A and B are shown apart, each in its own frame.
Chain A
Amino acid sequence: MYVKLFAGLREAAGSDRITVQLPAGATVADLVAALGRDFPAIAPLLGSVRVAVNQGFADPATVLHEADEVAAIPPVSGG
């Protein structure tokens, strides 16, 4: 599954898109755990990250599907 990255998270990872392997039925919480395990460079930032699924914020229990558009959203600073 592809995960979009932005701002400081994108720079820490060195890419605006990373790939993680998740088992069927994996949740948003599983995704965050996998990101921390597979990408040590962004692990310190994940505590403040929110996950968006199909362009809306998703809670940790949300189940992911292969076709979902998934993004890791670091703390925002618009306005």
Chain B
Amino acid sequence: MAVAQRDMIEVSAESLDKAAVEAFLEDPAAGARVVFEGIVRNHHDGRRVLHLEYEAYAEMAARQMAAIAGEIKRRWPAYRVAIVHRVGRLEIGEAAVIVGVSTAHRADAFEACRFGIDRVKADVPIWKREFYADGTSSWQDNHC
């Protein structure tokens, strides 16, 4: 059995550390660890994307992320939950968000992780601006 652990919640201007997230999720009782990474890609709606900028309402974002982690723990028997999001300028290939969950069994870990990233995209006050090859840029909308 595992004792209740606090969650890993961060809104960070620094590169996200996947290894640190994986280490945080370690628990002797956990037989499954699912880690989702959202990565900056080089295209959107047929346009070439050069880089992104993320802006956050940082205090509320962290609070919303903590609430999502709490919801995951109420709905699934999760031992550890990590939700970290990057802000500032990101280049193609960099991680923008990492959501990780460790549980006893794989089905719970997959479901809880999917739930976590979906909720992050719907309810965390963070905004993405795409910068295109033609010199224009545009704020995005997750259409949740």
Contact = CB atoms under 8 A, between A and B. Distances in A.
18 contacts: A6-B125, A8-B127, A48-B141, A55-B63, A56-B60, A75-B141, A76-B122, A76-B142, A77-B121, A77-B127, A77-B128, A77-B139, A77-B142, A78-B96, A79-B85, A79-B97, A79-B121, A79-B126
Nearest to A57: B123
Contacts of B115: none
Contacts of B120: 78-79
Contact of A79 (B38, B55, B139, B143): B38
Interface in B10-60: 38, 54-57, 59-60
A77 B126 CA distance: 6
B124 interface: yes
Interface string A34-53: 00000000000000100010
User: Interface majority SS on A: helix, strand, loop or mixed?
Assistant: mixed
A55 B58 CA distance: 10
A78 B63 contact: no
Chain B interface category by residue count: 20 to 34
User: Interface majority SS on B: helix, strand, loop or mixed?
Assistant: mixed
Chain A interface category by residue count: 10 to 19
B63 A56 contact: yes
Interface string B110-144: 00000001001111111111000000000111111
A79 B57 contact: no
Listed from nearest, the 10 A-B pairs whose CB atoms lie closest are A78-B126, A7-B127, A77-B140, A79-B121, A55-B60, A75-B141, A8-B139, A77-B128, A79-B38, A78-B124
Contacts of A77: 121, 126-128, 139-142
A13 B123 CA distance: 23
